[in-house]
Amino acid sequence: MTARRGLVLDVDRTTPPIVFHHGEGFRFEKLPTGSRVVYPNEPIDPIEDVDSAIRHALANPVGDSPPLEALLTPGMKLTIAFDDISLPLPQMQAPDIRGRIIEQVLDVAAASGVDDVHLIAALALHRRMTETELRHAVGDRVYDAFAPNGQLYNFDAEDPEGLTHLGETDHGEEVVISTRAVESDLIVYVNINLVSMDGGHKSVATGLSGYTALRHHHNVDTMRRSKSFMDQENSELHTKNWRQGRLIRDSDIKIFQIETTLNNDTFPSPWDFLQKREWEMSSKDRVMLLGTKKVLDKIPRRSARSIFQGIRAPFGLTSIQAGEVEAVHEITTENVYKQHLVRVEGQTDILSMGLPYLGPYNVNSIMNPILVACLGLGYFFNLYRGKPLVREGGVVIMSHPTPWEFHPVHHPSYIDFFEEVLADSTDPEEVEKKYEKRYAEDEWYRHLYRTSYAYHGVHPFYMWYWCSHALEHVGQVIVVGGDQRAVKRMGFRSATTMRDALEMATDVVGRDPTLTHIHNPPVLMADVV
């Protein structure tokens, strides 16, 4: 059976209310006649024999690369780096694809007499993964074999001895990566390429790097010139990452890149109604949906959060390719696009989106207001190719409860960013100029990043920069059903209902505007023509 393509639905009088994600819950919104709803493609049929596919990829690399086995020699130093907790979203049902690939890589290495192996969670400035999370990613067998003697660990971008300065690109961008990686004879990087920005040279150049190098592209100017950062052809972020990656390649650092793509099968039963089109829902789906909503609206947010954070996606593998970074990434991108791209004709005055409970930075954590903004204006807004879905000067309406809540362990610098920085200014450029350095170099945040489970001190700034393209492009941002104080702090406007939000939007875009809603997740990327 071939999966059905996504579609753009024109709302008419018979269209049922649309299900909006709304944090740890949903809203049903009856959209005005004439609105459009963009639905994602249905999950592509997955590869059935995953282990054979992995074996095949390792033995038949693409681009200018010998098979993995040929790269391994006794006594060599091997480093296996893998994507961290931010991928995939939600976490996938065990066994995680990373673990399955790593097991095979280790088998080949063992057969080739390689013992000096390190496994590193390539988390850049993200928080360290806990034991449970690492176990989920690599599997118990790998964990128990390597963690106890210190061969499996989280990358530390603030370890003064752990980083090596490789040089500067011809554009003056410093390139700094893990010393262990530099000293290794081979780096095998295991990717999960959930969206089109993941992987490629970004894997090592960013994942195993730190603030000194990242600040060259994690900044307002770069983000504003990445239109969008999901579209490699037009992403300044991509360009800079590629320059850094090529310098790494040219420094004689050997990378064997493994990239995987997943299908859109995001929600397991009983949550699978979330990836159905409303008019196709069965009576059982409807009962589940209504019942779930009733329950979620009643229980404390804390409980709802732990229910949602428990969801494990039944993702299926759609492709795996290994070998030389750029050649691998080209195939990967094609496969990602195949699952995500949905053709949309023309822009819209108002773009609405229902923001779910999860983004890359709140796995097993709390989606704080900054992450809400980043998910909507950073990720969802940028999931376009060609032109942004919303016209310049248009309005973005996001639905999310946006509570004034933070995870004290994971997001300590976010708390201060929200209380101190955003209270002063919401202008990304001013924020960057005035506060970034202090937060990036703060001793306490550094300590928490290194020894606790905190995102780096500078991370909330990156989240805010992620929004800067959208903030420059749109005329107004309205949050439906959010905590008014928190929404106001970020410089957005609050509306209690979608109807109010649409009414408020007319102040900016005039009477009778066009409205397009993106029905995401499952993930879709608008191909705007």
Instruction: Give the residues lining the site for other proteins (CB under 8 A).
Output: 118, 128-131, 134-135, 143-144, 147-148, 150-154, 156, 159, 161-162, 180, 301-302, 366, 368, 403-409, 412, 415-416, 419-420, 438, 442-444, 446-448, 450-453
**Residue 48 C-beta: closest distance to other proteins, Å:** 33
How far, in Å, CA of 402 to CA of 146, rounded?
Answer: 40
Pick 291 or 408: Cβ nearer other proteins: 408
Pick 124 or 152: Cβ nearer other proteins: 152
E-strand stretches of 104-185: 116-121, 152-154, 163-168, 174-178
The half-sphere exposure of 273 on its side-chain side, counting CA atoms within 13 A, is 21
User: Both tokens of residue 265?
Assistant: 């099968």
**Residue 146 C-beta: closest distance to other proteins, Å:** 11
Pick 154 or 260: Cβ nearer other proteins: 154
Per DSSP, the residues of 138-152 read H-HHHHHHHTTTT-E
User: Both tokens of residue 273?
Assistant: 């109604």
**Residue 341 C-beta: closest distance to other proteins, Å:** 36
Pick 299 or 508: Cβ nearer other proteins: 299
| DSSP-assigned beta bridge partners for residue 258 | 190, 322
Pick 138 or 344: Cβ nearer other proteins: 138
How far, in Å, CA of 161 to CA of 215, rounded?
Answer: 20
| C-alpha dist (Å) from residue 504 to 37, 369, 485, 494, 510 | 20, 21, 18, 9, 10
User: Both tokens of residue 224?
Assistant: 């504003």
Q: Which helix (H) or strand (E) holds 259?
A: strand 255-262
Pick 142 or 524: Cβ nearer other proteins: 142
Q: In sequence order, what are the residues at sequence separation of 6 or more whose Cβ sits closer than 8 angstroms to the Cβ of residue 447?
A: none
**Residue 105 C-beta: closest distance to other proteins, Å:** 19
How far, in Å, CA of 146 to CA of 161, rounded?
Answer: 22
**Residue 423 C-beta: closest distance to other proteins, Å:** 12
Pick 152 or 350: Cβ nearer other proteins: 152
**Residue 161 C-beta: closest distance to other proteins, Å:** 5
**Residue 365 C-beta: closest distance to other proteins, Å:** 10
